[in-house]
Amino acid sequence: MKYVNKLREKIAKGQLNFGTHCSCTDLSFYELCGQLDYDYVWIDAEHGAMSNPMIINAILATNAGGNAAIVRVVDHSVGNIKPVLENGPDGIIFPLVNTAEDARKCIEVCKYPPEGIRGYGPRRSQWYGGMSDAEYFKQANDSIMLLMQCERKEAVDNLDEILAVPGVDGVICGLNDLSASIGKFGQVNDPEMIDLMEQMIAKCKKAGKPFGASIGVNYDVARFWMERGASFLSIGFPQDYYMTLGKEVIQNIRTIENERMV
């Protein structure tokens, strides 16, 4: 909520918003991302088994570090999305949006009438009452970035219709699930997979909508998306970074120890 305009400003300038994924219970990880100069943190409630209090605290810690907090929700249901909305995330990522109807349902849950069906009950999103109702309602429907995940071939096929749904702010490609949907899990360099990604990018550009990808630590894949003008790139989890640095430290210490024992 507080940092979404920073994301939009970079998009308008054709710049990349760079983030990382996190579903840790230790809030210092979220705040630490601000020290590392990320633009946002992808708070992963879908795969991270995060409770609502954990999600809320992750939003607070991410913003405290100076980053936008974007929450990937569990699913498209009102019950799972509403508590997240009330606590002022900068964006929401909806998993497995395969059709325009899926996208419409996601959007209407996040918008107050007449644009949607969101019920009134803000908490942090209205600064705990510090913002007047009139001021809050004036900006509420546009204050959160709403991003659809493209994770199936069906979604790529239907993407023109998905992008035409009012309120859709952009699309994020989930490479692993997209490759799995064509029976080629993890084969991101397969020609069929590359064709699907190129189709997605072309459709987003045609519609004038920002796009991006969620990936592991893979610089070749990162370059693919950056060279094509991605607005979002989410790379890795804390576990990835711990594993990478951990291996390096262990290898170097073992080398020193072996040299000492010669």
Which residues lie below 8 Å from residue 93, measured CB to CB, with a gap of 6+?
42, 70, 71, 72, 73, 147, 148, 149, 172
> Ramachandran region of residue 35, left (φ > 0), alpha (ψ -120 to 50) or beta?
alpha
CA 164 to chain centre: 20
CA–chain centroid gap for 19, Å, is: 8
Query: The tokens of 154 are what?
Result: 């069906």
In whole angstroms, how large is the CA radius of gyration of the chain?
A: 19
Q: What is the rounded distance in angstroms from the CA atom of residue 133 to the CA atom of residue 90?
A: 19
Contact assessment for residue 85 and residue 144, using Cβ atoms and an 8 Å cutoff: yes
CA atoms within 13 A on the CB side of 156: 22
Closest CA to 20 of 220, 212, 228: 212
Identify any residues that bridge with 41 across adjacent strands, giving them in sequence order: 20, 69
* Catalytic center residues: 47
Neighbours of 221 (CB within 10 A): 18
CB atoms within 10 A of CB 234: 25
Count the helices and strands in the chain (H runs, E runs): 12, 8
